[in-house]
Each structure stands twice: as structure tokens, then as C-alpha cells.
Amino acid sequence: MSVNLEYRNEVLELVQRTEDFVTSDVLPIEDRHQGDITAAGGDELRRELQAAAKAAGVFAPHAPVEYGGLGLNMSDRAPVFEAAGYSVFGPTALNIAAPDEGNVHLLTHVASAAQRARYLAPLATGDVRSAFAMTEPAPGAGADPAALRTQAEWTGSKWRITGRKWFITGADGAAFFIVMARTSGEPGQRGGATMLLVPADAPGLRVGRHIGTLDRAMLGGHCEVFFDGVLVDQDAVLGEVDQGFQYAQVRLGPARMTHVMRWLGAARRAHDVALDYVASREAFGARLGDLGMIQQMVADNEIDIAATRALLVRACWELDQGEPAAESTSIAKTFAAEAIYRIVDRAVQMCGGLGVSDDLPIARLLREVRPFRIYDGPSEVHRWALAKRRVRAARNAGRGL
């Protein structure tokens, strides 16, 4: 196996342009509005930042070239997305924020030509936003997608969708939804799900309340969405009927890794801010950065950053080889979600009272990264799946005592 750890000059130049753009155009707005994208202007701000990103040549690095993107593979996205994530508004500016980025990836790989023209093209260019509607209130789909309860019934001429979703990121203002609905089987069964493309103005579709969460940087909130007999045509089916769980894997593995990329950028900013502080702040007769306990936190942050990048590189390489990468993406996601939180938490501690204040960005970054241990699969679920596979492999190999 050969893994090339060098990036092409074109990628390195794009990373530098992204860093420059985020520093000059994005960070000042984030800081002025304390990382709250709604307070900063919502969709109007998005359009302004994306126009600036296009002018800077850093827009849509992940999208297919034929739709105005730069066409980067997973490995080359990693340093670019990290550079964008240095500001929590950076991914929105580059059109690589969740859920749109993951939906671009899914539509690129699964959609028909007509669906790509109708949905992928305007999404990739930033003309519209989208949402991915899978999560449901208990006892419906959550960390266990097989619990899916939203129903799509074929009437003979149309699909009728009935159900309730919640925690649907970006729902408020989305132009369309990719809806996961059960078309066969019963809740608890692994198969029988279908993905359906549903315009936001379809009769019977209603976006409800925003569910308040720790994070403030995701446009369109995390919302309840109701489907009350929504009717869509056969051509709304994304891929094939009853294959929705299979297509979800096309989206989820890469989306977990792009989450790692973006939030690693946020953690790196927190670390950089803390480093600047401890390098100059004096206490107990020395600079804080010269004290052993502070140095240990700095070193532990550097280790967590390096380890996260290493796991990310491996997982992205596997994805680029066309492998499922289920194990490597689970490992990278679980480690990174916890390491990123540790990095920002240590940065808070290093900065003392300022670390929990609004005078520095670290406190709000802590709020932003904490949900990552739950989003795209709680750490406990990933650990359970990893352990289950290992135990099953050992049993099949006959290694039991």
C-alpha cells in the first residue's frame, strides 16, 4: 500500500488562498457577531460571502468541475476544508457547510442526469440551500437509522410521504429536502428505506420550530419538519426504491470526514489563540508558556491535532480508492470528535477567565465543537459498531478460548 502524503502545488496554493480569504473576509464578520450566523445576516450574508469566495477562486472546492466547482477528491479536500473551518463561517462562505456539502456529494454519485440538472446544479453554485431529512423523534430513526418510521406509500401514480422529522439542519430556507422514508418492512428492520427528493414548497411539507442547540454557526437552524401526505412523482426517487440505507453510506462516510476537516480548523484557531496568550501573559514570575503545566497542554494539543490529521488522511485515502472505509471513518470520526473538544477545552483552560469570556473566540468555539461527539453518530455508537465487528471477526476466526 502506498499513501502519498504530499499535496500538489495547486492544492497548496488553494489552501493559501483559502487561509488569506478567511482571515481577511470572514473572521472579522464572525468575531463581530460572536459566531451567530443568523445575527450576522443569515442567507443575505451567505450570498455576500459566497460571491467573495468566487472572486477569490476558493468557492466549492468539492463540487464537480462541470457545476462550477474545483473537483477535489477527499484527500485534497482535507487541508482546504481545515483552512476554511478556521472560521465557523468559512464553510458557508465556500459552500462546503453541512448539509449542503454532503448533499452535493450524494447527488453527484447517485442522482440521475435530470435530478443533477434540477437539484445539484443550483446547489453546487450556491443558488439554493438544501436539507437531509432522516432523524426522527423517539421512537423513530436517530443513532439507529433502522428505527425509521416516516412512510412513503406508492398510490399507483405518486409517492405519498407521511411522518415527522427533527434536528434537520438547514431546514429553514432550504429549497429542497432529501427525505429518508420507509417504503417496505417495519421499523427495526435494516432494509426498506428510500431517498426522495422533495421541493420545499410541496403541499403538506411544513418546517416547524427551530430546536435550540449549543451551536450557532449552521444556517437554517436544526428544525422540526412535518410531512402530511406530501405527494411526489416517481422521478423524485433518488437511486432505487428500498436502497436508501445503502445510499446513505455513500454520503455518511465522506460527510463524517468533512466534519472532521472543518472542526479541526476551528480547534486549530482556538489553539492558536491560546498559544498567543500564553506566550505573552506573565504570572508567577514567568510567562505562562514557560510553565510546565501549560507546556503539557500545548504539547497535548499538538499531539491531538497531528493524530487527527493522520487518521483523516488514512480514511480519505481509502475513500478515494473506492473502498467503503466504514471502519477507518468511524475511528477517525470518534477520535477526532473527542480530540477536537479536548483541544478547545485546553485552550479555554490556558486562557483562564478570558477563555470563558466573549473577549476571545474560544468559548463560542467550545460550544460549536461539542455537538460533534453526537452529530453523524454518537461516539458510543461508533465504538459499539467497531467492537462488534472485531468480536465477530474473532469468533469467525475461531480464536475463542
Q: Where are the domains of the chain?
A: 9-97, 130-238, 246-396
Distance, in Å, from the CA atom of 343 to the CA atom of 244, rounded to the nearest integer, reads 36
User: What are the angstrom distances between the C-alpha of 239 and each of 78, 122, 134, 194, 399?
Assistant: 28, 19, 16, 8, 41
CA 386 to chain centre: 21
Rounded to a whole number of angstroms, the distance between the first and last alpha carbons of the chain is 33
| Per-residue pLDDT at 1 exceeds 90 | no
For 370-388, how does the pLDDT look when each residue is reduced to its tens digit (9 = 90+)? 999 999 999 999 999 999 9
- pLDDT class for 233, splitting at 50, 70, 90? very high
Helices (H), 72-231: 74-85, 90-94, 100-110, 113-115, 121-124
- Percent of the chain past pLDDT 90, that is, above it, reads 94
How much is the average pLDDT of 325-346?
Answer: 97
Per-residue pLDDT at 4: 73
Domain covering 130-238 assigned CATH 3.30.110.30 in the classification? no
CA atoms within 13 A on the CB side of 70: 25
Per-residue pLDDT at 399: 57
Distance, in Å, from the CA atom of 195 to the CA atom of 198, rounded to the nearest integer, reads 10
For 56-79, how does the pLDDT look when each residue is reduced to its tens digit (9 = 90+)? 999 999 999 999 999 999 999 999
Which grid coordinates belong to 319? 475513500
Task: List residues bridging with 270 in a β-sheet.
Answer: none
Domain covering 9-97 assigned CATH 1.10.540.10 in the classification? yes
Q: What is the CATH number of domain 246-396?
A: 1.20.140.10
Q: Going by C-beta distance under 8 Å and a sequence separation of 6 or more, which residues neighbour residue 28? A: none
